[in-house]
Amino acid sequence: MSNSTFALRRTAAAALALAVLAFFWATFQPFAGNGDERVLVVIPKSAGAGEIGDLLDRKGVVPSAALFELRAFLGGNRGDLKPGRYTLRKGMSYGDAIDRLVAGPASDIARVTIPEGLSRVETAPLVKKAGIEGDYLKETAHPGLIPFRRYGAKTTPDSLEGFLFPATYEFKRAEGMKTLVAQQIAAFKQRLAGVNLSYARKKNLTVLDVVTIASMVEREAQVARERPLIAAVIYNRLHAGQPLGIDATVRYATGNWTKPLTQSELATDSPYNTRKNAGLPPGPIGNPGLDSLKAAAHPAQVDYLYYVVKPGTCGEHSFSSSDAEFERDRQRYEAAREAAGGRSPTTC
Protein backbone atom coordinates (compact mmCIF):
# COMPACT_ATOMS: atom_id res chain seq x y z
CA MET A 1 0.00 0.00 0.00
CA SER A 2 1.44 3.34 -1.02
CA ASN A 3 1.90 6.15 1.42
CA SER A 4 -0.58 8.29 -0.47
CA THR A 5 -3.27 5.58 -0.32
CA PHE A 6 -2.66 5.05 3.39
CA ALA A 7 -2.87 8.80 3.99
CA LEU A 8 -6.15 8.99 2.08
CA ARG A 9 -7.62 6.17 4.14
CA ARG A 10 -6.48 7.84 7.37
CA THR A 11 -8.07 11.08 6.23
CA ALA A 12 -11.31 9.30 5.33
CA ALA A 13 -11.35 7.49 8.68
CA ALA A 14 -10.77 10.75 10.52
CA ALA A 15 -13.54 12.46 8.55
CA LEU A 16 -15.90 9.58 9.30
CA ALA A 17 -15.02 9.73 13.00
CA LEU A 18 -15.66 13.46 13.03
CA ALA A 19 -18.97 12.95 11.24
CA VAL A 20 -20.01 10.30 13.75
CA LEU A 21 -18.95 12.55 16.62
CA ALA A 22 -20.87 15.49 15.14
CA PHE A 23 -23.93 13.29 14.66
CA PHE A 24 -23.70 12.03 18.25
CA TRP A 25 -23.22 15.61 19.54
CA ALA A 26 -26.19 16.96 17.59
CA THR A 27 -28.46 14.07 18.54
CA PHE A 28 -27.62 13.58 22.20
CA GLN A 29 -26.59 17.17 23.08
CA PRO A 30 -24.38 16.25 26.07
CA PHE A 31 -24.03 19.83 27.30
CA ALA A 32 -27.44 21.25 26.38
CA GLY A 33 -29.07 23.62 28.84
CA ASN A 34 -32.62 23.62 30.16
CA GLY A 35 -33.97 26.06 27.58
CA ASP A 36 -35.18 29.61 28.17
CA GLU A 37 -38.45 31.28 27.12
CA ARG A 38 -41.63 29.36 27.98
CA VAL A 39 -43.90 28.38 25.08
CA LEU A 40 -47.30 26.69 25.00
CA VAL A 41 -47.42 23.58 22.80
CA VAL A 42 -50.53 21.53 22.07
CA ILE A 43 -49.78 18.01 20.82
CA PRO A 44 -52.79 16.69 18.81
CA LYS A 45 -54.21 13.24 19.44
CA SER A 46 -52.80 10.53 17.18
CA ALA A 47 -49.81 12.73 16.20
CA GLY A 48 -46.75 10.64 15.36
CA ALA A 49 -43.17 11.35 16.38
CA GLY A 50 -42.48 13.03 13.03
CA GLU A 51 -45.46 15.36 13.31
CA ILE A 52 -44.55 16.15 16.91
CA GLY A 53 -40.96 16.89 15.87
CA ASP A 54 -42.20 19.27 13.15
CA LEU A 55 -44.41 21.08 15.68
CA LEU A 56 -41.62 21.40 18.24
CA ASP A 57 -39.25 22.62 15.53
CA ARG A 58 -41.70 25.34 14.43
CA LYS A 59 -42.18 26.46 18.03
CA GLY A 60 -38.43 26.66 18.59
CA VAL A 61 -38.49 23.99 21.30
CA VAL A 62 -35.94 21.79 19.46
CA PRO A 63 -33.55 22.72 16.63
CA SER A 64 -34.36 19.81 14.28
CA ALA A 65 -37.53 17.79 13.72
CA ALA A 66 -35.56 14.98 12.07
CA LEU A 67 -33.10 14.64 14.94
CA PHE A 68 -35.94 14.78 17.46
CA GLU A 69 -37.65 11.84 15.71
CA LEU A 70 -34.35 9.97 15.48
CA ARG A 71 -33.59 10.53 19.16
CA ALA A 72 -37.08 9.26 20.09
CA PHE A 73 -36.48 6.19 17.89
CA LEU A 74 -33.06 5.46 19.40
CA GLY A 75 -34.48 5.80 22.90
CA GLY A 76 -37.43 3.54 22.13
CA ASN A 77 -39.91 6.37 22.87
CA ARG A 78 -41.58 6.96 19.49
CA GLY A 79 -44.84 5.40 20.65
CA ASP A 80 -44.77 6.88 24.16
CA LEU A 81 -45.22 10.60 23.32
CA LYS A 82 -48.54 11.70 24.81
CA PRO A 83 -50.95 14.31 23.40
CA GLY A 84 -52.12 17.33 25.37
CA ARG A 85 -51.19 20.87 26.43
CA TYR A 86 -47.60 21.47 27.52
CA THR A 87 -45.65 24.47 28.73
CA LEU A 88 -42.18 23.81 27.30
CA ARG A 89 -39.12 25.99 26.79
CA LYS A 90 -37.44 27.18 23.64
CA GLY A 91 -34.06 25.56 23.08
CA MET A 92 -34.71 22.41 25.11
CA SER A 93 -32.55 19.35 24.56
CA TYR A 94 -34.16 16.46 22.66
CA GLY A 95 -33.90 14.29 25.74
CA ASP A 96 -35.66 16.80 28.02
CA ALA A 97 -38.43 17.42 25.47
CA ILE A 98 -38.98 13.68 25.02
CA ASP A 99 -39.03 13.12 28.79
CA ARG A 100 -41.74 15.77 29.16
CA LEU A 101 -43.88 14.27 26.41
CA VAL A 102 -43.44 10.75 27.77
CA ALA A 103 -44.50 11.94 31.24
CA GLY A 104 -47.64 13.49 29.77
CA PRO A 105 -49.26 16.92 30.17
CA ALA A 106 -49.50 18.62 33.54
CA SER A 107 -52.75 18.61 35.44
CA ASP A 108 -55.61 20.58 33.96
CA ILE A 109 -55.77 22.43 37.29
CA ALA A 110 -53.44 25.40 37.74
CA ARG A 111 -52.27 26.11 41.28
CA VAL A 112 -50.23 29.10 42.44
CA THR A 113 -49.35 30.42 45.90
CA ILE A 114 -48.81 34.18 46.16
CA PRO A 115 -47.10 35.31 49.40
CA GLU A 116 -48.33 38.32 51.34
CA GLY A 117 -46.84 41.70 50.56
CA LEU A 118 -45.39 41.12 47.10
CA SER A 119 -45.81 43.75 44.43
CA ARG A 120 -47.26 42.95 41.01
CA VAL A 121 -43.77 42.92 39.49
CA GLU A 122 -42.57 40.41 42.09
CA THR A 123 -45.66 38.25 41.67
CA ALA A 124 -45.47 38.00 37.88
CA PRO A 125 -42.54 35.51 37.79
CA LEU A 126 -44.30 33.22 40.30
CA VAL A 127 -47.40 33.13 38.12
CA LYS A 128 -45.36 32.48 34.99
CA LYS A 129 -43.50 29.65 36.74
CA ALA A 130 -46.87 28.07 37.58
CA GLY A 131 -47.50 27.80 33.84
CA ILE A 132 -50.55 30.08 33.77
CA GLU A 133 -51.15 31.38 30.29
CA GLY A 134 -51.26 35.17 29.87
CA ASP A 135 -49.48 38.36 30.96
CA TYR A 136 -49.93 39.05 34.70
CA LEU A 137 -48.72 42.64 34.57
CA LYS A 138 -51.03 43.41 31.65
CA GLU A 139 -54.05 41.78 33.29
CA THR A 140 -53.45 43.67 36.56
CA ALA A 141 -53.21 47.02 34.79
CA HIS A 142 -56.99 47.42 34.46
CA PRO A 143 -58.05 49.79 37.28
CA GLY A 144 -61.65 49.66 36.12
CA LEU A 145 -61.94 46.32 37.93
CA ILE A 146 -61.78 48.12 41.30
CA PRO A 147 -64.15 50.95 42.44
CA PHE A 148 -61.25 53.28 43.21
CA ARG A 149 -63.41 56.41 43.47
CA ARG A 150 -65.57 54.72 46.08
CA TYR A 151 -62.41 53.67 47.87
CA GLY A 152 -61.31 57.29 48.14
CA ALA A 153 -58.93 57.71 45.20
CA LYS A 154 -58.85 61.26 43.82
CA THR A 155 -57.44 59.99 40.54
CA THR A 156 -57.61 56.52 39.05
CA PRO A 157 -54.40 54.51 39.61
CA ASP A 158 -52.72 52.80 36.68
CA SER A 159 -52.89 49.32 38.18
CA LEU A 160 -54.57 47.07 40.74
CA GLU A 161 -51.58 47.17 43.11
CA GLY A 162 -52.71 46.52 46.68
CA PHE A 163 -56.06 44.97 45.74
CA LEU A 164 -54.79 41.58 44.52
CA PHE A 165 -55.23 39.44 47.61
CA PRO A 166 -52.32 37.08 48.32
CA ALA A 167 -53.35 33.45 48.81
CA THR A 168 -53.26 30.03 47.11
CA TYR A 169 -55.47 29.85 44.03
CA GLU A 170 -56.63 26.90 41.95
CA PHE A 171 -58.61 26.96 38.72
CA LYS A 172 -58.82 25.24 35.35
CA ARG A 173 -55.58 25.91 33.51
CA ALA A 174 -57.43 26.74 30.29
CA GLU A 175 -59.14 29.68 32.02
CA GLY A 176 -55.81 31.53 32.17
CA MET A 177 -54.69 34.79 33.74
CA LYS A 178 -58.01 36.62 33.73
CA THR A 179 -59.45 34.02 36.09
CA LEU A 180 -56.54 34.34 38.53
CA VAL A 181 -56.84 38.13 38.66
CA ALA A 182 -60.63 37.94 39.05
CA GLN A 183 -60.21 35.51 41.95
CA GLN A 184 -57.65 37.78 43.63
CA ILE A 185 -59.97 40.78 43.37
CA ALA A 186 -62.94 38.79 44.68
CA ALA A 187 -60.84 37.51 47.60
CA PHE A 188 -59.75 41.06 48.44
CA LYS A 189 -63.33 42.35 48.47
CA GLN A 190 -64.42 39.43 50.64
CA ARG A 191 -61.61 40.04 53.19
CA LEU A 192 -62.16 43.80 53.18
CA ALA A 193 -65.83 43.28 54.07
CA GLY A 194 -64.67 41.71 57.34
CA VAL A 195 -62.35 44.59 58.33
CA ASN A 196 -63.74 47.18 60.74
CA LEU A 197 -62.88 50.55 59.18
CA SER A 198 -64.65 52.77 61.71
CA TYR A 199 -61.47 53.92 63.51
CA ALA A 200 -59.68 54.72 60.25
CA ARG A 201 -62.68 56.70 59.03
CA LYS A 202 -62.65 58.75 62.26
CA LYS A 203 -59.08 59.68 61.30
CA ASN A 204 -60.32 60.76 57.84
CA LEU A 205 -58.61 57.85 56.14
CA THR A 206 -60.13 56.18 53.09
CA VAL A 207 -60.08 52.53 52.04
CA LEU A 208 -57.23 53.35 49.66
CA ASP A 209 -55.33 54.93 52.55
CA VAL A 210 -55.84 51.86 54.73
CA VAL A 211 -54.67 49.51 51.95
CA THR A 212 -51.64 51.72 51.37
CA ILE A 213 -50.77 51.66 55.08
CA ALA A 214 -51.33 47.90 55.17
CA SER A 215 -48.93 47.39 52.27
CA MET A 216 -46.20 49.21 54.20
CA VAL A 217 -46.97 47.31 57.40
CA GLU A 218 -46.70 44.03 55.48
CA ARG A 219 -43.22 44.91 54.27
CA GLU A 220 -41.95 46.29 57.58
CA ALA A 221 -43.33 43.75 60.06
CA GLN A 222 -41.40 40.51 60.38
CA VAL A 223 -43.13 39.58 63.64
CA ALA A 224 -46.93 39.29 63.61
CA ARG A 225 -47.53 41.05 66.94
CA GLU A 226 -45.69 44.15 65.68
CA ARG A 227 -48.12 44.88 62.85
CA PRO A 228 -50.43 47.11 64.98
CA LEU A 229 -47.37 48.86 66.46
CA ILE A 230 -45.90 49.70 63.05
CA ALA A 231 -49.33 50.88 61.91
CA ALA A 232 -49.44 53.13 65.01
CA VAL A 233 -46.09 54.69 64.08
CA ILE A 234 -47.46 55.48 60.61
CA TYR A 235 -50.65 57.02 62.06
CA ASN A 236 -48.70 59.07 64.61
CA ARG A 237 -46.23 60.41 62.05
CA LEU A 238 -49.06 61.30 59.68
CA HIS A 239 -50.76 63.18 62.53
CA ALA A 240 -47.52 64.98 63.37
CA GLY A 241 -46.87 65.90 59.75
CA GLN A 242 -43.55 64.03 59.77
CA PRO A 243 -42.25 62.08 56.76
CA LEU A 244 -42.81 58.38 57.27
CA GLY A 245 -39.23 57.47 56.37
CA ILE A 246 -40.15 53.92 55.34
CA ASP A 247 -37.47 52.49 53.10
CA ALA A 248 -39.81 49.89 51.62
CA THR A 249 -41.48 52.69 49.66
CA VAL A 250 -38.10 53.63 48.18
CA ARG A 251 -37.55 49.99 47.28
CA TYR A 252 -40.89 50.01 45.46
CA ALA A 253 -39.92 53.16 43.57
CA THR A 254 -36.50 51.82 42.55
CA GLY A 255 -37.41 48.16 42.13
CA ASN A 256 -34.63 47.18 44.53
CA TRP A 257 -36.16 44.68 46.96
CA THR A 258 -33.08 42.66 47.86
CA LYS A 259 -29.86 44.68 47.85
CA PRO A 260 -28.87 47.39 50.36
CA LEU A 261 -30.25 50.76 49.25
CA THR A 262 -27.64 53.18 47.98
CA GLN A 263 -27.53 56.84 48.94
CA SER A 264 -28.64 57.79 45.42
CA GLU A 265 -31.63 55.45 45.71
CA LEU A 266 -32.55 56.87 49.12
CA ALA A 267 -32.51 60.33 47.54
CA THR A 268 -34.53 59.29 44.48
CA ASP A 269 -37.01 61.90 43.28
CA SER A 270 -40.25 59.93 43.51
CA PRO A 271 -43.61 60.52 45.21
CA TYR A 272 -43.05 57.07 46.75
CA ASN A 273 -39.94 58.32 48.57
CA THR A 274 -41.34 58.75 52.09
CA ARG A 275 -38.01 60.06 53.33
CA LYS A 276 -38.41 63.17 51.18
CA ASN A 277 -42.21 63.52 51.08
CA ALA A 278 -44.60 63.85 54.00
CA GLY A 279 -47.88 61.94 53.98
CA LEU A 280 -48.76 58.64 52.39
CA PRO A 281 -47.28 57.51 49.08
CA PRO A 282 -49.64 57.70 46.07
CA GLY A 283 -50.81 54.12 46.55
CA PRO A 284 -49.96 50.67 47.88
CA ILE A 285 -46.45 49.27 47.43
CA GLY A 286 -47.61 45.64 47.44
CA ASN A 287 -50.55 43.42 48.20
CA PRO A 288 -51.17 42.98 51.94
CA GLY A 289 -52.76 40.08 53.76
CA LEU A 290 -55.71 40.20 56.14
CA ASP A 291 -53.71 40.73 59.36
CA SER A 292 -51.96 43.77 57.93
CA LEU A 293 -55.28 45.17 56.67
CA LYS A 294 -56.73 44.81 60.17
CA ALA A 295 -53.67 46.45 61.74
CA ALA A 296 -53.83 49.33 59.28
CA ALA A 297 -57.53 49.84 60.02
CA HIS A 298 -57.09 49.71 63.80
CA PRO A 299 -53.51 50.36 65.00
CA ALA A 300 -52.25 49.95 68.56
CA GLN A 301 -53.03 52.85 70.88
CA VAL A 302 -49.42 53.89 71.60
CA ASP A 303 -47.45 57.09 71.08
CA TYR A 304 -44.50 55.57 69.22
CA LEU A 305 -42.94 57.63 66.43
CA TYR A 306 -39.91 55.48 65.61
CA TYR A 307 -38.75 51.90 65.28
CA VAL A 308 -35.39 50.31 64.57
CA VAL A 309 -34.43 46.68 64.02
CA LYS A 310 -33.39 45.11 67.32
CA PRO A 311 -29.96 43.42 67.00
CA GLY A 312 -29.79 39.70 67.69
CA THR A 313 -33.41 39.04 66.71
CA CYS A 314 -35.13 37.86 63.54
CA GLY A 315 -36.64 41.18 62.48
CA GLU A 316 -38.01 42.41 65.81
CA HIS A 317 -37.99 46.16 66.38
CA SER A 318 -37.25 48.55 69.21
CA PHE A 319 -40.03 51.16 69.36
CA SER A 320 -39.62 54.65 70.82
CA SER A 321 -41.49 57.91 71.29
CA SER A 322 -38.69 60.51 71.50
CA ASP A 323 -35.69 61.56 69.45
CA ALA A 324 -33.35 60.59 72.29
CA GLU A 325 -34.76 57.07 72.57
CA PHE A 326 -34.63 56.62 68.82
CA GLU A 327 -31.01 57.80 68.67
CA ARG A 328 -30.07 55.33 71.41
CA ASP A 329 -31.72 52.46 69.53
CA ARG A 330 -30.20 53.54 66.23
CA GLN A 331 -26.68 53.70 67.67
CA ARG A 332 -27.13 50.25 69.20
CA TYR A 333 -28.16 48.91 65.79
CA GLU A 334 -25.28 50.61 63.97
CA ALA A 335 -22.74 49.31 66.51
CA ALA A 336 -24.03 45.76 66.09
CA ARG A 337 -23.99 46.14 62.32
CA GLU A 338 -20.39 47.36 62.37
CA ALA A 339 -19.41 44.44 64.62
CA ALA A 340 -21.01 42.11 62.06
CA GLY A 341 -18.78 43.48 59.33
CA GLY A 342 -21.44 45.70 57.80
CA ARG A 343 -24.03 42.95 57.60
CA SER A 344 -27.46 43.12 59.16
CA PRO A 345 -27.12 42.13 62.85
CA THR A 346 -30.12 39.79 62.78
CA THR A 347 -30.24 36.08 63.57
CA CYS A 348 -32.78 34.64 61.14
Is 340 a residue whose pLDDT tops 80?
yes
Structure confidence at residue 51 (pLDDT): 95
Give yes or no: residues 84 and 142 share one domain. Answer: no
The beta strands (E) that lie in the chain are given as: 38-43, 84-89, 109-113, 168-172, 306-309, 317-320
Give yes or no: residues 234 and 318 share one domain. Answer: yes
By residue range, what is the domain housing residue 36? 21-103
Q: In this structure, what are the phi and psi dihedrals at residue 191, rounded to the nearest 5 degrees?
A: -65, -40
Give yes or no: residues 116 and 157 share one domain. Answer: yes
- Please say which residue of 193, 222, 252 terminates a domain: 193
- Please say which residue of 193, 218, 244 terminates a domain: 193
Domain tally, the chain: 3
- The whole-model pTM stands at 0.72
Mean pLDDT, the chain, rounded, equals 89
**Integer Cα distance of 289 and 338 in angstroms:** 34
Q: Is residue 347 part of a domain?
A: no
Contact 299, 232 (CB under 8 A): yes
- Please choose, from the candidates 127, 222, 224, the residue with its C-alpha nearest in 3D space to the C-alpha of residue 179: 127
pLDDT tens readout for residues 250-308: 999 999 998 989 999 999 999 999 999 999 999 999 999 999 999 999 999 999 999 99
- Please choose, from the candidates 296, 321, 297, 343, the residue with its C-alpha nearest in 3D space to the C-alpha of residue 240: 321
Structure confidence at residue 23 (pLDDT): 44
Stretch 17-31: mean pLDDT, rounded?
A: 45
> Which one has a higher pLDDT value, 164 or 9?
164
Give yes or no: residues 320 and 210 share one domain. Answer: yes
Is 229 a residue whose pLDDT tops 90?
yes
Q: Among residues of the chain, what percentage have pLDDT more than 70?
A: 90
Q: Which amino acid is at 232?
A: A
Give yes or no: residues 334 and 206 share one domain. Answer: yes
Stretch 12-29: mean pLDDT, rounded?
A: 45
Structure confidence at residue 278 (pLDDT): 95
Give yes or no: residues 127 and 218 share one domain. Answer: no
Give yes or no: residues 293 and 179 share one domain. Answer: no
Give yes or no: residues 78 and 203 share one domain. Answer: no
**Integer Cα distance of 196 and 296 in angstroms:** 10
What band does 5 get if pLDDT is binned at 50, 70 and 90? low
- Please choose, from the candidates 270, 231, 229, the residue with its C-alpha nearest in 3D space to the C-alpha of residue 251: 270
Give yes or no: residues 283 and 334 share one domain. Answer: yes
Stretch 26-35: mean pLDDT, rounded?
A: 48
Give yes or no: residues 176 and 308 share one domain. Answer: no
- Please say which residue of 142, 166, 193 terminates a domain: 193
Give yes or no: residues 138 and 235 share one domain. Answer: no
Q: State the CB neighbour count (10 A cutoff) for residue 5.
A: 9
Q: In this structure, what are the phi and psi dihedrals at residue 85, rounded to the nearest 5 degrees?
A: -95, 130
